[in-house]
Amino acid sequence: MKIIAIANQKGGVGKTTTSINLSACIAMEETKNVLLIDLDPQGNATSGLGFTPEQGTSLYEVLLGKESIKDRILPTRFEHLSIIPADMDLAGSEIELAQTDDHLTRLREILKPLKRKSKFDYIIIDCPPSLGVLMTSALAAADELLIPLQCEFFGLEGLAKIVHVQEQIKLSGANPKGTIEGIVMTMFDGRTNLCRQVVDQVRQYFPEQVYDTVIRRSIRLGEAPSYGKTIVEYDKSSHGSTDYMSLAKEFLRRRA
Ligand SMILES: Nc1ncnc2c1ncn2[C@@H]1O[C@H](COP(=O)(O)OP(=O)(O)O)[C@@H](O)[C@H]1O
Ligand SMILES: [Mg+2]
């Protein structure tokens, strides 16, 4: 079982879209079981998958040691996909956790029982867009970091920053084996030179990490969450659906 954090401290780069659709597309392969953890108090992955964020359903109490993680796992309409939703309480854990000595490794400890014994092949964590306690604890818990990167100039600056943070967490000893497994270029628009230049440049610096699959800009991808649907449910014939199916295949191939 592998824990994958989908993170980038920048907002609006496609973290949640990638978390939802990659999870669903892997689960649709039918041989793998996925648990999607929504760790962003905004709850976009929760609502994007058709759940209403409700108080008392997130990892918040679990992080504070008051509840067991097993009680927070909900089934979804995909047989092989489960979810732990987010709620606004999670925002409070930024402050409450920061006051504890072990805040960096708490999530890691909580996930350990699932690592030892559960049906899940992958736990995918949708991270909030800030370098707070929730995101850093996700980086400390994750075997692998998957970074969605928007095809724009400032995307590169953000990349340098998250790579640095991941390195610091490694050096702190909280997660010595954590790796940057992948970088997924999102919102690609082939009509602009800048887009292509950014992709080329990121590939130069991170030849191993950048996925061959590039997620194109697609209006349908923007629409799907407002119906609480994944892109494969909302419009299977769209670019977005094709791209995320191919991302899931590449994800599994890289681990075969
Ligand atoms: N490939 C894409 N094409 C078009 N819109 C996208 C694409 N990926 C994400 N979006 C939209 O862009 C916005 C930000 O994406 P989101 O996944 O929520 O980013 P993050 O979680 O990093 O903040 C959302 O409205 C989402 O629907
Ligand atoms: Mg998000």
* pLDDT bracket for residue 156 (50, 70, 90): confident
Q: How far is CA 188 from the centre of its chain?
A: 19
* 224 closest CA partner among 42, 93, 89, 44: 44
Q: What is the end-to-end Cα distance of the chain in Å, rounded?
A: 13
- The pLDDT mean for the chain works out to 96
How much is the pLDDT for 30?
Answer: 82
Among 17, 37, 213, 229, the mutation site with the greatest number of ligand 1 atoms within 8 A of its Cβ is: 17
- Residue 13 Cα: closest atom of ligand 1: 22
Query: Count of CB atoms within 10 A of residue 84's CB?
Result: 22
Q: What is the mean pLDDT of residues 84-95?
A: 94
Gap from CA of 196 to ligand 2 centroid (Å):
24
* pLDDT bracket for residue 154 (50, 70, 90): confident
* 110 closest CA partner among 81, 73, 80, 144: 73
Between the alpha carbon of residue 83 and those of residues 104, 152, 173, 222, the distances in Å are: 22, 31, 29, 21
How much is the pLDDT for 216?
Answer: 97
Q: What is the mean pLDDT of residues 99-126?
A: 95
In this predicted structure, the answer to whether residue 189 has a pLDDT above a threshold of 90 is: yes
Q: Find out whether 53 and 16 touch, Cβ atoms under 8 Å.
A: no
Q: Quick: pLDDT tens for 47-64.
A: 999 999 999 999 999 999
Alpha-carbon distance of 137 to 107, in angstroms, equals 6
In this predicted structure, the answer to whether residue 155 has a pLDDT above a threshold of 90 is: no
Domain ranges of the chain: 2-254
* Residue with the two structure tokens 């996930």: 111
Q: Which protein residues touch ligand 1 with a CB less than 6 Å away? A: 11-17, 44, 129, 186-187, 215, 217-218, 221-222, 225
Map the chain to HEC letters.
CEEEEECCCCCCCCHHHHHHHHHHHHHCCCCCCEEEEECCCCCHHHHHCCCCCCCCCCCHHHHCCCCCHHHHCEECCCCCEEEECCCCHHHHHHHHHHCCCCCCCHHHHHHHHHHHCCCCCEEEEECCCCCCHHHHHHHHHCCEEEEEEECCHHHHHHHHHHHHHHHHHHHCCCCCCCEEEEEEEECECCCCHHHHHHHHHHHHHCCCCECCCCCECCHHHHHHHHHCCCHHHHCCCCHHHHHHHHHHHHHHHHCC
* pLDDT bracket for residue 35 (50, 70, 90): very high
Alpha-carbon distance of 4 to 123, in angstroms, equals 6
* pLDDT bracket for residue 157 (50, 70, 90): confident
What is the second-level CATH architecture of the domain 2-254?
Answer: 3-Layer(aba) Sandwich (3.40)
Q: Which ligand minimizes its atom distance to the CA of 218? A: 1
